[in-house]
Structure 1
């Protein structure tokens, strides 16, 4: 049997546990090209039974479609901008020289390829206050000591004083003025960093497990991610022309990457083009790749266009890859042709996946330690920012960014563990056991005030949402160490991957969210839309009956997401529609706090005025009364 992937045929071994794609890089290059050019895969599975057992033929090929030459398709403005840009140069090069604080429409599209978005402060009224967000490109989330310190400085000197860790293992720097763009970009480039291709219609940052384990499989997965990133990096030089006057400040590429890029044996390249893989049009939209090892789903592998899984033998030596294709989170409200989708495997099924956060202290395997630190929504600011800089600078540490917006300090000597732990605690960077479990897995996109696509709040709103969920947990009797994966986005584009959450809140109007239910803690199942247009102040009315019934009707160790899938949307909706509040005596805190139903309902009305639940308000009243009595004594 063979599997055809983008024209590359590979024998499937007799061992049903492994699709043995060669570990040479050319095989991956062929696959990537086919998907990049068409993004259409036709996967045909046929199964037959025989006395020797089941067999499987798997074919995945890009399907050429002959265009109908009688009717020319209407071209988008962005396609025209790209084609006429001299490979992403014009008119951006001219717009950057004008006195205006912003750039024109064409340049706004082109600067994305350079790793930047034009934004303005949507909280301000009157004339728009333009600035630029810069996003770095960090395959595997690797950040050198020098680059971290430079990014920290740039945030203070030219940004809004904060760094943001993204869900694709990169930095975002907000608030850079147009007049400072070249200074900031050149500083990043000369510090061996890059923003090239961090945004725009091309391959985005390639994910890989951030843990700095000295293990063959992890090291090979990270090397593979770096090679894919190098292979799919634009080649026409527009980035360096714009920001460092044509000086190409790069380390030499591995020869296998150069060879793979120049290989056109499958007819996937653009001959004699400055961009042999992308051509003048680049891609129709963004493209995402993740690499990992079996069981390690720290990269949310099912959400990527291509997932590459390094499969090793019992000694940890890489033997091949399993390939996943077709994942994606982007969608548009009320447009059914757009929808989130899980990637599907082209090889055999692997061991069960597990989400790994890598928070806390861990052995690297080479005598050193690493420490994973939780950062709420990836926003590094204030005392935390100062503390991190002092530690990273003092101990000359390299760092890594995780796909869950956290940061890892690498290569720590055993003797440094105690002083670093003390310094981190003083800076508010607590060990995971001291962080609310709800916060540990929660994520949100930036949304307001700078994202032009935001419909409602996400990053600024999630802290209060998590507090309200914690209050509901207490009210229905859920234990403190129980948790639900919550992700919030300000629009349906899915930057924080809400469609994989157990509870996803997707902005669909002012202070309004679409609720998705059904992801699981290991990020292997897709959530389903449950309810539209839920106003922020009405969240308790929806979530309280769901959490109450989960607490009482779940199976042993059943997660909230699995419970909602097993129960089904119809029954869940019935729970919400018929909810009349927690039965008297059923709450952990016993709602006999209220003498009668009328008192409860009156308290509920007052609570809503303060955006709280009746239970929260009642508990506050009691605490305040107790405090006043104690102070009186």
Structure 2
């Protein structure tokens, strides 16, 4: 733990938790429908968020009732890989204990929403029966390890997938609390358990790791605390390039918080990966801020120290010098939708899932595909699903199942819709300032109408991402168009992120009403239509000409321009 004398309230709760037991173990079976604040903070380490329905808060308060509590459970799935029987088990749980939906996250996890307190233990026990866990899917630990999900059958992809799974296993907390509380495991003989990596106070804040495949940045590797990019020579894995200090969260009005992209630290040999990654985690554990949680992410430590000092400290922990980082180049950041050959005679199919929410007819269709064709499932960092190991003879069957249930196939969906993402936000996220998932379908189709009217549906189509608060869960700050909740029904618009995910956008307009978003984007898109270079994306155009130039295009006539929905 860092030497700071003052620690935040959450730090004190962690230290008093008996290695993530209390007070969850004492409150789980009491008659209350929710946990105390202390219990809620420790629940996160078990992959659980306590929430309430914010749509009914005022009405319930007027009736003298408390909040309508429910829980979100996040299932940690390294690299997003699920066997068919595991997916079907998750699907059943959505009906039995959740709100009949599954939510694919931007970290390749699955979230259940609407779970009541009495359903927590039964749900986790079923997860365990299917070799799944919610342990450390949330909380101040290394969370679900992300990896490029494309199942191409070359040896390098298989190696990287194995490294991601092995690293995830190594970085799990060692406390027996999860097994004791949820799985009726035998209580530890001593509560003085050793957490060799995390220590008694765990990390100062959440910690995110992702593996990208060389040239393919579908995981948004620069937004991670540690980004890992394999170094290949003649198709041989020679090592890994490590990036450090990325993170997107910020607070409105707090000038000392801001999104940051990760920076190249070193390129190491494969056999060094685990010890160097663990050393980086330990540096953050020992030196990250514990007095102020909004400044506790590792990105602020890297910024405060500078990359060279940070690297020197990591070298001190591993006991040897680290070489310079190899340069990185990127060709794409797409999400592998549609049909692809795996390279082993089989196919995989990427299915668009709007905002990651699997529900209604889509959920029925996916269930039938899994039951009939038995594919391995891979969840993507852009909230979609890959059906893998499909026999060529089953291609028509898969498409027929989807069409039968009214599911649109990639290629028939507007590209701007297909590339969009939104966070859950209201009504359950306690941090949400305004809407995101519930309004994004309308907003993105208004933008699609605008693109069509401006004849911008050919060539590069902008990536649009929305969040209901500035924490950035849907990664809006690296998008070409980022929409970030500012206040009720109001958003900050960011422009100029890179379609390859290696540049942040800048503030274009603040406090834009939701119904005005498309109209406010129109002058910028008109300028793009008139002045873009050949094959230049909207994000690259905004970066080239500058945000100030684009603001000048707004002029006094914007109020007179028809909205995209008109």
TM-score in terms of structure 1 length: 0.76
CA contact (8 A) 1:437 1:481 kept: no
Aligned-pair distance for 1:481? 5.9
Q: Which runs of 4+ in 1 moved over 4 A?
A: none
> Aligned partners of 1:435, 1:397: CA distance in 2, in Å?
23
Partner of 2:94: 155
**Bigger radius of gyration among the two:** 1
Are positions 1:119 and 2:51 aligned together?
A: yes
Given the alignment of the two structures, is residue 218 of structure 1 paired with residue 142 of structure 2, yes or no? Answer: no
- 5 Å-filtered alignment, 1:264-279, equals 273-279=193-199
Where do 1:455-474 residues align within 5 Å? 455-474=433-452
Query: How far is 1:452 from its partner?
Result: 0.6
Partner of 1:100: 32
Aligned equivalent of 1:555: 533
CA distance in 1, matches of 2:422, 2:8: 31
The correspondence for 1:304, drawn from 216, 221, 224, is 224
Q: Secondary structure at the match of 2:433?
A: coil
- Secondary structure of 2:93's partner? helix
User: Partners in 1 of 2:237 and 2:520 — Cα distance?
Assistant: 48
* Equivalent residues of 2:459, 2:535 under 8 A apart: no
Superposed, 1:33-432 pairs within 5 Å as 67=3, 73-124=5-56, 125-126=59-60, 127-246=66-185, 273-314=193-234, 316-346=235-265, 347-432=325-410
1:13 aligns to what?
none
Deviation at 1:431, TM superposition (A): 2.6
Tell me the CA shift for residue 353 of structure 1: 4.0
- Summarize the Cα distance change of 1:463–1:546 in structure 2 as closer, same or farther, 3 Å threshold: same
Is 1:443 the counterpart of 2:363 in the alignment?
Answer: no
Per-residue deviation, 1:309: 1.1
Match of 2:553, SS?
helix
> 8 Å contact 2:520–2:558 — kept in the other structure?
no
Kindly report which structure 2 residues correspond to 1:532-543, keeping only aligned pairs within 5 A, or say none. Answer: 532-543=510-521
Q: Secondary structure of the residue that 1:217 maps to in structure 2?
A: helix
CA drift of 1:389 comes to 0.7
2:299 is aligned to none
Which whole-Å deviations, capped at 9, do the CAs of 1:402-444 have from their partners, x for residues lacking one? 0000001111112211111111222233331111101111000
Deviations 1:468-522 (A, max 9, x none): 1122213333235652100000000100000000000000100000111111222
Q: Secondary structure at the match of 2:214?
A: coil
Q: C-alpha root-mean-square deviation of aligned residues, in Å? A: 1.7
Aligned length: 496
Partner of 1:393, secondary structure, is helix
C-alpha distance 371-541 of structure 1, shift in aligned 2 (>3 A): closer
Q: Distance in 2 between matches of 1:406 and 1:569?
A: 31
Q: Which has the higher contact order (CA 8 A, sep 6+)?
A: 2
Over 3 Å counting, the alpha-carbon distance change for 1:295 and 1:237 in structure 2 is same
How many angstroms does 1:580 deviate by?
A: 5.0
Instruction: Evaluate the alpha carbon distance shift between residue 524 and residue 614 of structure 1 in structure 2; reply closer, same or farther with a 3 A threshold.
Output: closer
Per the TM alignment, residue 88 of structure 1 is displaced from its structure 2 partner at its CA by 0.4
Cα contact 2:71–2:115 (8 A) shared by 1: yes
499-508 or 239-248, larger mean C-alpha shift: 239-248
Are the equivalent residues in 2 in contact too, given 1:374–1:429 (CA < 8 A)? no
Q: Deviations over 1:235-284 (max 9, x none)?
A: 11111111111169xxxxxxxxxxxxxxxxxxxxxxx8521100110011
Q: Secondary structure at the match of 2:147?
A: coil
Partner of 2:557: 579
Matched, 1:520 2:498: yes
Q: Secondary structure of 2:446's match?
A: helix
Could you say which residue in structure 1 is the equivalent of 2:322?
none
Structure 1 distance, partners of 2:236, 2:446, is 48
Q: Which moved more, 1:207-216 or 1:170-179?
A: 207-216
Instruction: Name the CA distance, whole Å, in 1 between partners of 2:108 and 2:12.
Output: 31
Secondary structure, in 3 states, of the residue corresponding to 1:576? coil
Alpha-carbon distance in 1 for matches of 2:416, 2:374: 32
Question: Which residue number in structure 1 is paired with residue 288 of structure 2?
Answer: none
Q: Distance in 2 between matches of 1:428 and 1:188?
A: 30
Q: 1:113 to 1:438 in 2, by over 3 A?
A: same
Residue of structure 1 aligned with 2:484, choices 506, 509, 513? 506
